[in-house]
Amino acid sequence: MKFAAICFTNNGIKVLKRLGALSLFKDDNLALYSKCSFAEDSEGIIPVSESLNDWTEKNFKDNDALIFVGATGIAVRAIAPFMRDKLTDIPVIVIDENATFVIPVLSGHVGGANELSEKIAEELNAQAVITTATDINDKFAVDVFAKKNSLFIVNKDGIKEVSSKVLAGQEILLSAPNGKVDEEKLPEGIKLTDYPPSKADILITSNKDLDNANIILRPREYILGIGCKKDKDFEEILSFLSECLKEAGIDFNDLYAIASIDLKKDEEALNRLSGYLKIPFKTYSADELNAVRGVFSISDFVKETTGVDNVCERAALLCAGANGKLVLRKKAGGGVTVAFAKRDWVIDFYE
């Protein structure tokens, strides 16, 4: 993941340096910026000469989260023109320049700003300021539940409907296919009902014809296995992927993860694809891929260059887990190979 943090004063620079030293960002995935013309001791911090609006627009697109060290009002005004949707906006966090408070101001649940704020606060010995109603009342949050179980939220308006009932202390009816939910582990106030339901508050289903619930959650069932030539253009990969998805009858929102060989872990287009789709990019060694059992579309050229006779099919199947099945075998075009595997899924109610 990529993060960017910006400050506006010398005290803010001190906080940036503390952020950069946190174990959360040990992989150097946090870029530090300062819009402070009188900056002191700013080694390792990138000066910002452009307007805050221009900086925010670029970094809102290019990063997985933004951190503002300064006043909340500055951050709110900066991000306001670029906010689009609570399900797709990136997390935005504000830290005061004394590092006393860590405040998630955007995408607290689905984006994970609340969780990230708590982690940062713990390492800074600061106080996370969480304001979302379900959190402060220690209640079930359907959007957090969906994120942790890799469920796509079909109708975002349903979040408010379900959360209102939860906060009012009303019973929540949940419907899911048989065997996908352990009834004994249901949180207090949630009851399992028939599937398909006559009516439910929460419906978990891969059947796109079912819609009789306040909120519909669709499991992300499919793994994209992919291989490509070095420095392949992102737009070309996206175009070919779109064709393959259409052929397989799979939506972008059905994808759970991208999988490939570890030789591709730094491939810019694949990492960009991961960010674009907001799903993990997982890579495996040649030995791990060679150990996958099955019948695959082999290539002597691929084996010679990578050490494994097929990347996309093996990677997809490995990522899909023990009960995974290939649903689209290798498709090749323009220096890209794609395959899809379907994973088995069950619902977990995380503590």
Q: What is the pLDDT of residues 251-260, one digit of tens each?
A: 999 999 999 9
- Is domain 222-342 classified as CATH 3.90.950.20? no
Q: Tens digit of pLDDT for each residue in 278-320?
A: 899 999 999 999 999 999 998 888 899 899 999 999 999 999 9
Q: Mean pLDDT throughout 112-121? A: 95
Q: Which CATH number is associated with domain 142-219?
A: 3.40.1390.40
Give me the pLDDT at residue 181, please: 94
Q: What are the angstrom distances between the C-alpha of 208 and each of 117, 148, 247, 268?
A: 35, 21, 17, 33
According to DSSP H, which parts of 197-285 are helical? 234-248, 268-277
Per-residue pLDDT, averaged over 146-152, amounts to: 95
Report pLDDT for 39.
Answer: 62
pLDDT > 90? residue 174: yes
CA-closest candidate to residue 114, choices 79, 149, 65: 65
pLDDT in the model for residue 351: 60
pLDDT at 329: 95
- Please report, rounded to a whole number, the percentage of residues in the chain having pLDDT higher than 70: 98
Tell me what the mean pLDDT of segment 205-224 comes to: 95
Output the pLDDT for position 275: 86
Strand partners of residue 257: 223
Output the pLDDT for position 144.
92
Mean pLDDT across 236-252: 96
Beta bridge partners of 46: 33
pLDDT tier at 159, thresholds 50, 70, 90: very high
Q: What does the pLDDT read at residue 135?
A: 86
- Mean pLDDT across 229-234: 94
DSSP annotation string for 8-51: SSHHHHHHHHHHHTSGGGTTS-EEEEE--TT--S-TT-EE--S-
Instruction: Give Cα separations from 267 to 93, 151, 191, 226, 233 (angstroms).
Output: 29, 27, 45, 12, 10
Q: Which amino acid is at 116?
A: L
Average pLDDT, the chain: 93
Distance of CA 326 to the CA centre of its chain: 24
Mean pLDDT, residues 332-340 taken together: 95
Domain at 3-131: CATH code: 3.40.50.11220
Q: What mean pLDDT is predicted for residues 216-235?
A: 96
Q: Could you state, in order of their start, the residue ranges of all structural domains in the chain?
A: 3-131, 142-219, 222-342
Which residue type occupies 53? N
Q: Which residue has the higher pLDDT, 43 or 122?
A: 122
For residue 28, what pLDDT band results from cuts at 50, 70 and 90?
Answer: low
> Is residue 247 pLDDT above 70, yes or no?
yes
Please tell me the predicted confidence (pLDDT) of residue 40: 62
Q: Where are the alpha helices (DSSP H) in 111-249?
A: 113-124, 133-136, 142-148, 157-167, 234-248
Rounded CA separation 307/303 (Å):
5
How would residue 180 be classed by pLDDT, with cut points 50, 70 and 90? very high
Does the pLDDT of residue 274 top 90, yes or no?
yes
pLDDT tens digits for range 31-63: 999 998 766 667 789 999 999 999 999 999 889
Considering only residues 235 and 27, tell me which one the structure prediction assigns the higher pLDDT. 235
Strands (E), 176-275: 190-192, 200-204, 213-219, 222-228, 255-261
Statement: residue 24 has pLDDT above 90: no
